[in-house]
Chains A and B, each alone.
Chain A
Amino acid sequence: MDLIKKHIQEGLNSTEELDKLRKLNHSLDDKTLAKMMFESFENTTESEGEAFSEDTLRIYSRIKNEKKPAKFSFIKIALKYAAMLLIPILLLTTIHFYRQVRVIEDGNIDVVTHQGERVRVLLPDGTHVFLNASSRLRYNPLDFNKNKRNLFLEGEAFFEVAKDKDHPFILSMTTMKLTVLGTKFSIVSRFEKKNIEVYLNEGSVLLNSKISNDRQIIKPTEKAFFNTKTGKFTVKKVIANKRYPDWTQGNMVFRRIPLKKVFNSLSENYNVDISFDENKMSSLLNDLFVGTLPNNDLDAAMKVLEEVYPIHYSQDRHNLLIEKNK
């Protein structure tokens, strides 16, 4: 034991002493070692720690920068931007800084989400938008509420449009336009997909093709498919869709779900390919997971799983690789 004391205090003098310490360590179980360590911890003074203030400062900033699992980032278009754009009136409340919101030179505001990110946006007229991952919503706050409410979307969003008969709400995509008066609808418009999909929950929408003369009105529980090549609309009746799309609702809750299925859910929700070695991880994959994972922060979700299981992950754009710890 004195040897251990020597090691932690002045240090060992020779390889002979090291040999003895090695033998000693191998004969001690963790419990005994832990007891000695705790005593040593209690005896470590503040002044001993002073030598390491730089190190701990550095660690602190690293801790602070680690992504904390966030709920839906809520963006209220801020007074800050109003001032920047010289708008006297409008906008409500507090200044929130969010990295998804940019003001571009022509006065437009861009709300951009990347893979695995989601935001909720409150527009100046009271319209509420859930913006899904890898999407962009653009509008001009100077313009907004003047005659029309014009916005541009690329990606996926769920809208709850505030009723305003005098100011039609017009959502533009590259090949199609959507006009509503006041309503709830979902839209998926991704450039890699052939069709733009619009699902109407409440109210009514008028859809206009920009590349043909086609137009379409749909009613609640109807889903329109717009072919971005031909410019044609088709409508399907959809059976009892939920009030809100799954992805707009908080977290993914798992109650005794096999880990393999958890990975599948993550893959779907975050739109990433998840790969893992089935053989090496077979026992883990069948483990029944009980827990909650955020649905808008992939890193945070993976970190939770890393805490629970002996795994680690690495990500490369749309691919996630999960491996068992050695």
Chain B
Amino acid sequence: MEDDSKYLNLLKLGSERAFDYFYEKYSKRMFAFCMKWTKSRSASEDIVQDTFVKLWTSHEKIKTEYPIMILLFNIARNKLIDRYRKTVDSICFEEFIQYSNEKYIDSNLPSGKIEYDELCEKINSFGKRLPRTQQQVFNYRIFQQKSNKEIAKLLNLSEQTIKNQFSLALKSLRKKLLL
């Protein structure tokens, strides 16, 4: 930890070597940490990159009394909390959990090995191939996280219709994912 302190002072003075030292020592751990909470490689990449870039661009303002872990966390904090909450609330994540836990009825195919990001992409692109109303409902639920009630109002349909459309969409989606 003495080294950390020494390098932190150097970092404050603008030493690129000190930056490299901290990157080497903490970036992987930070990445692993972000993955645990967001399950998403792209979110973790974004957070790690953003954090270290900010660490560098604001190096003059570093408060050297604090340990680097706290400094790094403080920078990452808001983005991480935001992504965590978004992940948990998302439909993609719901599908991910189902998929990882072999809850698909017709599943005699290996499941649970797909990455969360990959699944999200499949879901995103899948939506484009649905029949019109299903697609609308699907997109509203997935991308704008609107409730059935809100969508019913927007599309001028009954809430029950919305529910039905969405479950139809999900059924096709699951079929597609298993292929």
Interface positions of A (Cβ within 8 A of B): 7-9, 11-15, 17-18, 21-22, 25, 30, 33-34, 37-38, 40-42, 44-46, 48-53, 55-56, 58-60, 62-63, 66, 303, 307
Does B77 touch A at the CB level, under 8 Å?
Answer: yes
Q: Which residues of B contact A13 (CB under 8 A)?
A: 97, 101
Indicate whether A49 sits within 8 Å of B29 (C-beta atoms), given known contacts A15-B94, A18-B88, A59-B45. yes
Interface positions of B (Cβ within 8 A of A): 23, 27-33, 35-37, 39, 41, 44-45, 48-49, 52-54, 56-57, 69-70, 73, 77-78, 80-81, 84-85, 88-89, 93-94, 97-98, 100-101, 103
Indicate whether A55 sits within 8 Å of B37 (C-beta atoms), given known contacts A33-B81, A33-B84, A50-B28. no
B49 touches A14 (CB 8 A): no
B73 touches A41 (CB 8 A): yes
A18 touches B28 (CB 8 A): no
Distance (whole angstroms) from the CB of A144 to the closest CB of chain B: 36
Q: Which residues of B contact A42 (CB under 8 A)?
A: 69
Q: Which residues of B contact A25 (CB under 8 A)?
A: 84-85, 88-89
A9 touches B36 (CB 8 A): yes
Q: How far is the CA of A34 from the CA of B76 in the complex (A)?
A: 10
B81 touches A37 (CB 8 A): yes
- B28's partner among A8, A17, A52 (CB-CB below 8 A) is A52
A37 touches B77 (CB 8 A): yes
Indicate whether A56 sits within 8 Å of B31 (C-beta atoms), given known contacts A18-B88, A42-B69, A66-B53. yes
Indicate whether A40 sits within 8 Å of B37 (C-beta atoms), given known contacts A55-B45, A56-B48. yes
Known contacts A8-B37, A18-B97, A45-B29, then 16 further A-B pairs from the complex at CB < 8 Å, ordered by chain A residue: A7-B88, A11-B39, A14-B97, A14-B103, A18-B88, A18-B93, A18-B94, A30-B81, A34-B77, A46-B29, A49-B28, A56-B48, A63-B23, A63-B49, A303-B57, A307-B57
A40 touches B27 (CB 8 A): no
B81 touches A34 (CB 8 A): yes
B88 touches A56 (CB 8 A): no
Q: Which residues of A contact B41 (CB under 8 A)?
A: 55
Q: How far is the CA of A212 from the CA of B30 in the complex (A)?
A: 69
Distance (whole angstroms) from the CB of B107 to the closest CB of chain A: 15
Q: Which residues of A contact B35 (CB under 8 A)?
A: 52
Instruction: Name the residue of chain A whose CB is nearest to the CB of B116.
Output: A11
B100 touches A11 (CB 8 A): yes
What are 30 pairs between A and B in contact, CB < 8 Å?
A7-B37, A8-B36, A8-B37, A11-B39, A11-B100, A13-B97, A15-B97, A15-B103, A18-B97, A21-B88, A25-B89, A33-B84, A37-B37, A37-B84, A38-B70, A38-B73, A40-B37, A44-B33, A49-B27, A49-B32, A51-B32, A52-B44, A53-B28, A55-B48, A56-B31, A58-B45, A59-B27, A62-B49, A63-B53, A66-B53
Q: Which residues of A contact B28 (CB under 8 A)?
A: 46, 49-50, 52-53, 56
Q: Which residues of B contact A37 (CB under 8 A)?
A: 37, 73, 77, 80-81, 84
Distance (whole angstroms) from the CB of A126 to the closest CB of chain B: 31
A15 touches B98 (CB 8 A): yes
Q: Which residues of B contact A52 (CB under 8 A)?
A: 28, 31-32, 35, 44
B48 touches A59 (CB 8 A): yes
B29 touches A55 (CB 8 A): no
Distance (whole angstroms) from the CB of A324 to the closest CB of chain B: 18
Q: Which residues of A contact B27 (CB under 8 A)?
A: 49, 56, 59-60
- A48's partner among B32, B73, B89 (CB-CB below 8 A) is B32
9 pairs of A and B residues whose beta carbons are closest in the complex: A49-B28, A8-B36, A52-B31, A49-B29, A56-B27, A44-B33, A48-B32, A49-B32, A59-B49
Q: How far is the CA of A11 from the CA of B113 in the complex (A)?
A: 13
Distance (whole angstroms) from the CB of A55 to the closest CB of chain B: 6
Q: Which residues of B contact A14 (CB under 8 A)?
A: 97, 101, 103
